[in-house]
Structure 1
Amino acid sequence: MDFLLTLVTDPAAWAALLTLVVMEIVLGIDNLIFISILSNKLPQAQRARTQRLGIMLALVLRLGLLGTVAWIAQLTAPAVTLFGHAFSWRDLILLAGGLFLVWKATREIHHHVVHAEEERDNPSSTVQLTVAGAIGQILLLDIVFSVDSIITAVGMTDHMPIMFIAVISAVLVMLFAASPLSRFIDRNPTIVTLALSFLLVIGMTLIAEGFGSHVPKTYIYVAMAFSAFVEAMNMLVRRAKSKRALGTGQ
C-alpha cells in the first residue's frame, strides 16, 4: 500500500502513466481498424458483439502478458540464426503477424475492388465471415499487437500498476470507439480501401521490425493522419457536389 501511495504522489509516475496511456491508445489504432473491417463482414446483428469480444480478448491477452513480464523480456533475446541474422522470438512473432497482415489486407483490397460492383447489385452474393472465423483472426493479430504493446510498456516503466492502468485505459478507449469507427467505415466505401492500405503499411512495418530495422511509428501515424485528412476533404467535396446536383435537379 505504501508503494501505491508513493506512486500516486510522484509526478514522474503520473507523467509516465500519461505517456504510456497515449502510446497504448496509438498502438491500439492498428488493432481497432483490423477489428472494425473484419467485423463489418459479419451480419449486422453480430458485429457489435464480435467487436466487444475481440477487444476483451485483447485486454485479457495484454493483462496476461503483463503478468509474465520476466518471460516477455526474454523474447527479445536471440533465439535462432538464419542466413547469418539472429532472430528473437519477438522478431519471429512480428514477422508472422506482418506477413499475415499483408496477406489479409491484400486479399481484402482485391475482394473490395473486384467484387464491389457485384455486391452492390446483389447483396446476397457477399461471402460473409463466420463469428468463429472473425474471432480467430482477431485473436491472431491480438497476440502480435499485444506482444509489441507490452514490450513497449516494459521499456518505458518498471512499475506494474502503471502498466496495468495504461493497458486497461487504452482497451476501454478501443471499446467505446469500435462501433462508431465500424459504422463510419461501413457507410464510406472509400474509407475501406484507405483503412486496408493502412493495414498493409502496418504489416510491412512489422516485417521490417522483425528483421531488426526500426521504423519510427511517428512517421507511420503522421502519414496515416495526413491521408485521412485528404480523404475527409474529398468526402466533403463529394457531399457538396451531391447537394448541388440535388438542388439543380429540383
Structure 2
Amino acid sequence: MEVLFTTDALIALLTLTFLEIILGIDNIVFLSIVSGKLREEDQPKARRIGLLLAMVFRIILLFGITWVMGLKKSFYDFDFGFFSGGISGQSLIIFGGGLFLLYKSVSEIHHKLEGEEESSNGKASNSLSAAILQIALLNIVFSFDSILTAIGLVSSAEPPKGFGPAGAIEIMILAIIISIVVMLAFAGPVSKFVNEHPTIQILGLSFLILIGVMLLAEGSHLAHFRFGNDVEVHSIPKGYLYFAIFFSLFVEFLNLKMKKSSRKPVVLHNSKIIDKKLEDSDITN
C-alpha cells in the first residue's frame, strides 16, 4: 500500500481519474437524455443506478484484464482481396457498441423533433426498467472502451519505482471510484441543464453520434480492416472529438448567455422538464 502514497502513484491516480471523468462525459450525456424521459421522481434513481453500474462494470473488467486482453486475439480471419481483416472479441464489442449508439442517437433525435408525444403510462421506453436496460447495455461498451484506454495509458507510460501490476490495478480501481463519485455529484445538475435546453439536448445527441463513429473506427482498427493492400482503417484520436465537443459547448454557452429571450423555447418531444415549466408558465399567465 505504500506504493499508493508515492509522488509517482499520486500523479498516476490524478491522471487516470481525470481520464475516467473525461471518458465518462458521453456516459453522463446518455444518462441525461434517457433519464429525461422518465417521471421526475425516477430520474435520480436511473442516474445513480447507471453510474454505479458503470463503476461495477469497470472494476469487474479490471479484475478480468487477462480475459479482456485475450479478446484481442482474432477468431475469424477473412480476405476477399479488396477487403480483409480479422474479427476479435474486442473489435466485435466496440463495433457493436458503436452501431447501437448510432441507432439510439438518431432514433432519439427523430423522436424529439418529429416523433409523437408518448404518454407517461403507455410506452415501455418511458419505464425505469427499460431505461436501466439501455443504460446497462451501453455501459458495458463505455466501460470496455474506458478500460482499454486506461490499460493502454498505463502500459505506454514508464512505471514508477516499485510500481508493479498489483499497484497499477489498485490505482486504476481507486481512480474509477473517485471519478464515479465526482460524476454522481454533478450528474443531477448536468441532467437538469441538458433537459432544460433543447439545443444542448441535440448537441448532446450529436456528440453521441460522433462517439458512435469513433467506436466504429476503433472496432474496425482492432479488427485490422484493410481495403486493398494499402488502406487500413485507423482509430480516431479521442482528443479531436473531445475538443470538438468542448468547443461546441463553449459556443452554445455564449449563445445562451447573449441571446436570452422571454419567448417560449422550442419544445422537444419527451422533454418532461420543459413541458412542466411551460405548464407552470401557462397557469401563472
Name the counterpart of 2:218: 209
Name the counterpart of 1:93: 93
Secondary structure at the residue paired with 1:86?
Answer: strand
Offset of 1:42 from its aligned partner?
0.5
Moved more, 18-27 or 126-135: 126-135
Deviation string, structure 1 residues 147-172 (Cα, Å, up to 9, x no partner): 11112222233411111111111111
Q: 1:124 and 1:65, CA in 2 relative to 1: closer, same or farther beyond 3 A? A: closer
Name the counterpart of 2:126: 129
Secondary structure at the residue paired with 2:126?
Answer: coil
Contact 2:39 2:120 in 1 (8 A): no
Secondary structure at the residue paired with 1:163?
Answer: helix
Name the counterpart of 2:207: 198
Name the counterpart of 1:246: none
Q: 1:25 and 1:49, CA in 2 relative to 1: closer, same or farther beyond 3 A? A: same
Which segments of structure 1 move beyond 4 Å, counting only runs of 4 or more? 122-128
Name the counterpart of 2:53: 57
Name the counterpart of 1:70: 66
Offset of 1:226 from its aligned partner?
0.8
Moved more, 214-223 or 76-85: 76-85
Offset of 1:123 from its aligned partner?
7.6
Contact 1:16 1:156 in 2 (8 A): no
Structure with bigger helix share is: 1
Offset of 1:222 from its aligned partner?
0.5
Q: How does 1:1-250 map to 2 (within 5 A)?
A: 4-9=1-6, 11-83=7-79, 84-115=84-115, 119=117, 129-157=126-154, 158=165, 159-212=168-221, 213-239=234-260, 241-242=261-262
Quick one: distance in 1 between partners of 2:119 and 2:144? 38
Deviation string, structure 1 residues 122-156 (Cα, Å, up to 9, x no partner): 98799551111101110001100111111222223
Q: Could you tell me which amino acid in structure 1 is paired with residue 218 of structure 2?
A: E
Q: 1:126 and 1:176, CA in 2 relative to 1: closer, same or farther beyond 3 A? A: farther
Offset of 1:238 from its aligned partner?
2.1
Deviation string, structure 1 residues 222-249 (Cα, Å, up to 9, x no partner): 000111111111111221x449xxxxxx
Quick one: distance in 2 between partners of 1:227 and 1:112? 20
- Give me the identity figure in percent: 43
Unaligned runs of 5+ residues in structure 2 are 155-164, 222-233, 264-285
Quick one: distance in 1 between partners of 2:119 and 2:198? 14
Name the counterpart of 1:248: none
Deviation string, structure 1 residues 194-233 (Cα, Å, up to 9, x no partner): 1000001100110010100211111000000111111111
Unaligned runs of 5+ residues in structure 1 are 244-250
Quick one: distance in 2 between partners of 1:82 and 1:56? 39
Quick one: distance in 1 between partners of 2:121 and 2:111? 12
Q: 1:109 and 1:153, CA in 2 relative to 1: closer, same or farther beyond 3 A? A: same
Quick one: distance in 2 between partners of 1:187 and 1:193? 12
Quick one: distance in 2 between partners of 1:77 and 1:43? 44
Secondary structure at the residue paired with 1:44?
Answer: coil
Moved more, 186-195 or 146-155: 146-155
Q: Could you tell me which amino acid in structure 1 is paired with residue 43 of structure 2?
A: R
**TM-score with structure 2 setting the length:** 0.77
Q: Could you tell me which amino acid in structure 1 is paired with residue 196 of structure 2?
A: R
Q: Could you tell me which amino acid in structure 2 is paired with residue 225 of structure 1?
A: F
Name the counterpart of 2:279: none
Contact 2:120 2:126 in 1 (8 A): no
RMSD: 2.0
